Amino acid sequence: MSTADFRMIRPVAITDAMLVSSSVPEALAQEYAPGTAYALGATVGVTTGTMQLVYQGLQASNTGHAPASSPTWWKPLGAVYASYSAAATYALGDIVSSISAGVHDLYESQAAGNTGNPLTNDTKWLRRSATNRWNLFDKALNSQTVAPGSISIAIIPGLVNTVTLLNVEGAQATVSQSVSGYTSTKSLVRHDVLSWYDFFYEEPIRSGDVVFDDIPPYGAATLTITVDNAGLDAAIGGCFVGKSRTIGLTQWGLTGGTLSYSTPTTDKYGNTTVVKRANAKRLNFEVRIPQGFEDEAFRLLTEYTDVEMVFIGCSDRSMTITYGYLDQWQVPVSLNGANAPISIRGLT
């Protein structure tokens, strides 16, 4: 397999049963009590309003050390929110969770004195996002799963051979598999500069997209995915696992750009302001279709037109990796192979 193979990754939807474990909390923890002696690894919470900050104990015989001010005794795991209660009264801006089988959502109150109004009442409640634990699986790349220091999940997704992590913030990402012993770690630190001045004065970037496309396919295997970012928050916007299918070889001359959803507004004096919103990738490829493979390429592209999936133009170039859908494409027929123009519209 070449790094320049043009591939479509058909994602597997991750269900509750597939998610074996996650280092990111979702439910409320037992409230911290100063007089309690906590064991190594104990989990506690500190609640303010509907939000609770969750901590994990770093030492045994942990008594009287306030989690927020005792970093040698407690490690922060992230924020969770109380479950919605029809009997409670919520203030404007309060956030609650709705968690059940296949449901992992956060809602924000749109009114003061919000009592007894169901979450389906869109004048009183606005769906904010998935819960922090499930943001990386919700297909919305701009809503990230975020945790201090690192994120680690274990999943059993079935027969897959590719893991794609998008909109990642971290120093490195690691994927390992239980059956084969496969493990691979890739750096996420980038310091692309054009001069020595920039080398010394531009800070390295800890973000980007990364693909693990050499995973042995075993249906019963557990995949462990970890992003480390010591001293900073680790974040994953999208985690996609699936089987890849190669269409042809990506040719030089591909182009990449963005679709901006920001809104500029100009007042009567000509002053323009921009309301910053998300943007998505737009990619244009020329893909070399091998002679004799045209019918199958046409079938695959037809089948997956308007289907959301991961596309990889070149696994070594982050700009060519996106989650989106086929926009325009054509498959030429030639005696010795020809280039197919393929356009991809990314999703946010």
pLDDT at residue 173, as a whole number: 97
pLDDT at residue 316, as a whole number: 85
pLDDT in tens, 249-259: 999 999 999 98
Report the SS3 class of residue 102.
coil
Question: Is residue 119 predicted with pLDDT exceeding 90?
Answer: yes
Sign of the Cα pseudo-torsion (57, 59, 61, 62, in order): negative
Mean pLDDT in residue range 15-22:
97
Which residue, chain included where needed, has tokens 């939000």? 51
Write the CB contacts of 263 (distance below 8 Å, at least 6 apart in sequence).
274, 275, 277
Mean pLDDT in residue range 231-260:
94
Residue 222 pLDDT class (50, 70, 90 cuts): very high
pLDDT at residue 1, as a whole number: 58
76 backbone dihedrals φ, ψ, rounded to 5°: -70, 140
Q: Which residues pair with 176 in a beta bridge?
A: 183, 224
Question: Is residue 207 predicted with pLDDT exceeding 80?
Answer: no
Mean pLDDT in residue range 119-136:
97
Q: Is the pTM of this model over 0.85?
A: yes
Residue 94 pLDDT class (50, 70, 90 cuts): very high
pLDDT in tens, 30-42: 999 999 999 999 9
Mean model confidence pLDDT for the chain? 94
Q: Are 172 and 186 in contact (CB under 8 A)?
A: yes
Cα atoms found within 13 Å of the Cα of residue 11, Cβ hemisphere only: 22
Angle subtended at Cα 22 by Cα 18 and Cα 136, rounded to the nearest 5 degrees: 75
Distance CA 267, CA 274 (A): 12
pLDDT at residue 276, as a whole number: 87
Name which of 305, 331, 332, 310 is nearest 321 in CA terms: 310
Mean pLDDT in residue range 266-294:
91
- CA distances to 42, 84, 150, 212, 242 from 171, rounded to whole Å, are 27, 36, 10, 16, 24
Q: Are 135 and 143 in contact (CB under 8 A)?
A: yes
pLDDT at residue 168, as a whole number: 96
- CA distances to 79, 88, 109, 111 from 92, rounded to whole Å, are 19, 13, 5, 5
pLDDT in tens, 130-187: 999 999 999 889 899 999 999 999 999 999 999 999 999 999 999 999 999 999 999 9
Residue 206 pLDDT class (50, 70, 90 cuts): confident
Proportion of the chain above pLDDT 90, given as a percent: 85
Report the SS3 class of residue 224.
strand
pLDDT at residue 57, as a whole number: 97
Which residue, chain included where needed, has tokens 């819960």? 131
Mean pLDDT lowest among 13-17, 96-100, 200-204: 200-204
127 or 190: which leads in pLDDT: 127
Name which of 91, 172, 89, 93 is nearest 128 in CA terms: 93
